[in-house]
Amino acid sequence: MPTKREYRDDYPDKTLYIPGPTEVREDVIEAMCEPMFGHRMDRMTDLYTTIVEDTKTFLGTDNDVIVLTGSGTEFMESSILNLVDENVLVTTCGSFSERQANVAERLGKTVDTLEYEWGQAVKPEDVREALEESDTHYDVVTCVMNESSTGVRNPIEEIGDVVADYPDTYFVVDAVSALGGDYVDIDEHDIDVIFTSVQKAFAMPPGLAVCVVSDDAYERELESDSASWYGGFQRTLDYYDRKGQTHSTPAIPVMLAYRKQMKYMLEESHEARDERHREMAEYTQEWAREHFDMFPEEGYESQTVSCIENTRGIDVAETIDAVSEEYDMVFSNGYGSALGEKTFRIGHMGEHDLESIEALTDAIEDVAGL
Ligand SMILES: Cc1ncc(COP(=O)(O)O)c(C=O)c1O
C-alpha cells in the first residue's frame, strides 16, 4: 500500500523527452480553462463535430473517426471485443504488443501469437505464411505500429496489404506513440482499425483516445453479440451520426485543447509533420550511433521514439537524474527490468524539433562526459 505523498504547488517545469506524454503548447493548455458547458448542448456538437472532422482531414481518411475519453488501451480492448468471435493472431515484438495478446486472452479469445525477439520487427511475409498455413480462421490480425518499448517501427503498410488478401480477416493497428508523427495512408493499406492516445505524437494533454474505423469493421461489429458498450464502434459512430456528440460525458476540457492543437496540426499537415519527425529521428540515430548504438533491427527504427543501446555501460538512471536536475529535461530509461539499464529512450515527438532534440543530446553528452 503506498502512503499518501501530498501533491505540492512547487514542482519545477521539466521538458519532456519521454515516449509520452510530451510537450504541449501553452495556448493548447490554456484552451482547457473555459467555464464548463453541458455535453448535450449545441456548443458540444460544434466542438465534437469540429474535432472529428478536422481529424479526418488531417489523417486524409474517408473512414470514420471516434474521439473517446480514455487512453489508447481502451481501443486495444474494444477492437477485440468488437471484431473477434474466436481467433485472433497477435504479432508481438515488445511489451505493448504483448499487452495486446494479454488483453485478448483475458477477453476469452483464442490467441495465436507470431512472436519476435524484442528489438526485431514483424515481417509481412511471416504474417502471410501464418495466415496461409494455419487451419484456423483469424477474425483479426493485430500489429503495433511503433513498439515504444523497443523503438521498432513495424511495416504496417505492407502487413495491411497482406491482410487485405484475406477479406474476412480484419487488421487492427495500435498506433499509440506514432500516429500524427509518422505518416500512414490508412485507406490505401486497408487498415480496418487504427488507434492512438492523444498525449503522444498529437501533443495534447492525456485523456482521449482516437480510433479510425473502416466501413467493413463497422459492419462486422454489427454481427457480434459481444461488442464493447463503451468502445463499441456502432454505439459511438451512430451517436455521432444522430447527434454529433459522444454517447457519454466526455473530458470536455481536453477536447477544447484538442480543437486548438488539431488546427495547428492541420496548418502544418500530416506530410510536413512526418518530415519534421523524420529529421529528428535521423539526427537522433546518427548521434546514437556515434556514441552508443541503436537497439532496433536496422531499417526498422521508430520515427518518434529512439531506443538506444547502452553500449558504453553508462549508469542510465543516474544520467537521467542528472540531466533532469541540471537541465530540467527528462528522457526515459529502457522498458522494464530487462531493458531498464541496457537501453534508454528519447521521445522526439509532437512539438519537438531538431533544435530541442539537439539541446537534449548536448545535455546527455555533458552529463555522461561523452
Ligand atoms: C505502443 C503503445 N501502445 C499502447 C500504449 C498504451 O497507451 P495508453 O497508456 O494511452 O493507454 C502505449 C503507451 O505508451 C504505447 O506506447
For ligand 1, atom 2, the nearest C-alpha belongs to 176
Q: Span 337-366, mean pLDDT? A: 96
* pLDDT tens, residue by residue, 271-308: 999 999 999 999 999 999 999 999 999 999 999 999 99
**What is the arithmetic mean of pLDDT over 77-95?**
98
Say what the pTM is. 0.98
Give me the phi and psi of 187, to 5 degrees please: -70, -40
Mutational test site, ligand 1, from 154, 156, 177, max ligand atoms within 8 Å of CB: 177
> What backbone torsions phi and psi does residue 118 show, to the nearest 5 degrees?
-60, 130
3-state helix, strand, coil in the chain (%, to 5): 40, 15, 40
Q: Which helix (H) or strand (E) is 344 found in, with range?
A: strand 343-347
What is the pLDDT at residue 125?
98
Strands 140-144 and 170-174: parallel
Report the DSSP beta bridge partners of residue 211: 66, 195
Which class for 182: exposed (0-12), middle (13-18), buried (19 or more C-beta within 10 A)? buried
Asked if residue 280 lies in contact with residue 323, where contact means CB atoms within 8 angstroms, the answer is no
The mean pLDDT of the chain is: 97
Q: Which residue of 75, 78, 95, 96 sits with most ligand 1 atoms within 8 Å of its CB, as the best mutation to test the pocket? A: 96
- Distance from the CA of 69 to the center of ligand 1, in angstroms? 15
Alpha carbon dihedral 72, 73, 74, 77, in 10-degree steps, equals 140
pLDDT of amino acid 225:
86
Q: 332 CA distance to ligand 1 centroid (A)?
A: 15
Cell of 352: 519537438
Atom of ligand 1 at shortest distance to CA of 146? 1
pLDDT at 338: 87
Which residue has cell 485543447? 257
Q: What is the mean pLDDT of residues 236-264?
A: 98
| Pick from 118, 137, 182, 180: nearest CA to 156 | 182
According to DSSP, residue 13 is labeled: P
Residue 19: pLDDT band with limits 50, 70, 90 = very high
Q: How confident is the model over 37-84, as pLDDT tens digits?
A: 999 999 999 999 999 999 999 999 999 999 999 999 999 999 999 999
Task: Give the nearest ligand 1 atom to 73 CA.
Answer: 11
Structure confidence at residue 367 (pLDDT): 98
CB atoms within 10 A of CB 15: 17
246 pLDDT tier (thresholds 50, 70, 90) = very high
CA neighbor of 196 nearest in space, from 102, 265, 282: 265
Average pLDDT over residues 3-15: 97
Residue range 144-149: average pLDDT? 98
* Average pLDDT score over residue span 337-365: 96
pLDDT confidence of residue 1: 85
User: Residues enclosing ligand 1, CB less than 6 A?
Assistant: 19-20, 71-73, 96, 144, 146, 148, 174, 176-177, 197
Cell of residue 38, nine digits: 453541458
Report the relative pairing of strands 64-69 and 208-213 from DSSP bridges.
Answer: antiparallel
Measured in Å, residue 366 CA sits from the centre of ligand 1 at 31
Q: For residue range 256-268, list pLDDT tens digits in order.
A: 999 999 999 999 9
Question: What's the 242 CA to ligand 1 centre distance in angstroms?
Answer: 31
pLDDT for res 56 = 98
